Structure 1
Amino acid sequence: MEFRSTNLAGAYLVQLEPLHDHRGFFARTFCVEEFATHGLEIGYPQHSISYSARKGTLRGMHHQRDPHREATLVRCTKGVILDVIVDIRPDSSTFCRWQKFELSSANGHQLYIPKGFAHGFQTLCDDVEVSYLISTPYEPGSADGIRYDDPALGIEWPLPIMEISEKDLHWPPFAHSVL
């Protein structure tokens, strides 16, 4: 795996290094030693998957409040998404900044999202599956979010929003979601 720094402190784009032969390829998607060497989370007690049927579906912007903040390793296993993360750590040098990444089954990229970030994505095709390794079990009482279209952040979604949950439509603006 190749760990590429992003523009946001502590977040990494993790690129697979597939070994190809006549059958196809083999690649590691996680290695405790390599993640530890980079100072990243190595314990993931929760593994989850999401499926979105329709192009233009938006999920986010989600995070968990203390004491249940979570680091997440996200990978698109079918289709393609535009993944967006926002640094919501008030003491961070990249506080209030966001960055976007294209994750797809074709490129195999993974996104390491440290604790203290909001996360969301938009599907860029139909029939999309996304896999998550999550460092903290989900705690409904700590679940929180930020408006996907908050003008204070100015996130640029590439497609019209075709599907979104009622919950995601009603998250508060960023100013109310600081950790």
Structure 2
Amino acid sequence: MPAELRCTPINGVFELISQPFADHRGAFLNAFRAQEDAFMGSWGDRFIAQVNVSRTETVGTIRGLHLQALPHSEAKLVRCLRGRVWDVAVDLRPDSVTYCHWHAVELSSERANALLIPEGCAHGFQVLEPGSELLYLHSGSWVPEAETGVRWNDPQLAIGWPLPAGELSERDRGLPLLS
């Protein structure tokens, strides 16, 4: 069954809803099919440069808000393979009408959804179930010198995280504020 593409209030950020096939043996999910209309309409002709998987054990943990700076910016398609996360995209494109706006969706394997985050938008998430795993498709290669981001609790963004902040990496604690 084809995926459904849902627009969000941020231009270029889309939620993709897939329909897994399930029977007595289990389930099969087509996580990405470049020729499918929903993926073509959101991913376009971007190249998949890398695929990553992350697992986070502790509920409340926040990872992010991360992005790669120009000229190494990348799009991400993020899907939850196990558990549940509250996934956030933040528009940091200075010329965008939604600059500094954020949008969040709950990603889970049960919902079979994914979030497409375009170039110039930061990404972060908060873990809602222990042992949550995310699959990331990246349109660009990782360039350590281009890594940047914004602090998860930036008052200018005022992101309404669903849980009190749990564990954070030293890197994420040290990310700058927008102002």
- Give 1:170's match in structure 2, choosing from 166, 170, 174: 174
User: Following TM superposition, where does structure 1 have runs of at least 4 consecutive aligned residues deviating by more than 6 angstroms?
Assistant: none
Map of 1:120 onto structure 2: 124
The C-alpha deviation readout for 1:35-89, integer Å capped at 9, x for no partner, is 2344635411100011111111110000000111000000111100001110011
Query: In 2, Cα distance between the equivalents of 1:79 and 1:26?
Result: 17
2:40 alignment partner, SS class: helix
**What TM-score do the two structures reach when normalised by structure 2?**
0.92
* Match of residue 31, structure 1, among 27, 30, 33: 33
Q: Report 1:21-170 matches (<5 A).
A: 21-34=23-36, 35-38=39-42, 40-170=44-174
Secondary structure of the corresponding residue to residue 54 of structure 2 = strand
* Matching residue of 2:5: 3
Contact 1:36 1:42 survives alignment (8 Å):
no
1:37–1:150: structure 2 CA closer, same or farther, 3 Å change rule? Answer: closer
**Distance between the aligned counterparts of 2:42 and 2:54, measured in 1?**
27
Distance 2:26 2:146 in 1: 42
The CA RMSD measured in Å over matched residues stands at: 1.4
1:17 maps to what in 2?
A: 19
* 1:148 CA drift (Å): 0.5
Which one-letter code corresponds to 1:115 in the other structure?
A: E
SS in 1 for 2:64: strand
CA distance 1:117–1:123, change in 2 (3 Å) = same
Structure-2 change in CA distance of 1:85 and 1:41 (3 Å): farther
Uncovered stretches (5+) of structure 1, i.e. residues with no partner: none
In structure 2, distance between residues paired with 1:58 and 1:97? 19
Query: Sequence identity, in percent?
Result: 43
Query: Contact conserved, 1:32 with 1:42, CA < 8 A, in 2?
Result: no
**Do the aligned partners of 2:58 and 2:167 also contact (CA within 8 Å) in 1?**
yes
- Structure 2 unaligned segments of length 5 or more: list them: none
Deviation at 1:20, TM superposition (A): 3.3
CA contact (8 A) 2:19 2:112 kept: no
For 1:114 and 1:171, locate their aligned partners in 2 and report how far apart those are by CA, in whole Å.
Answer: 20
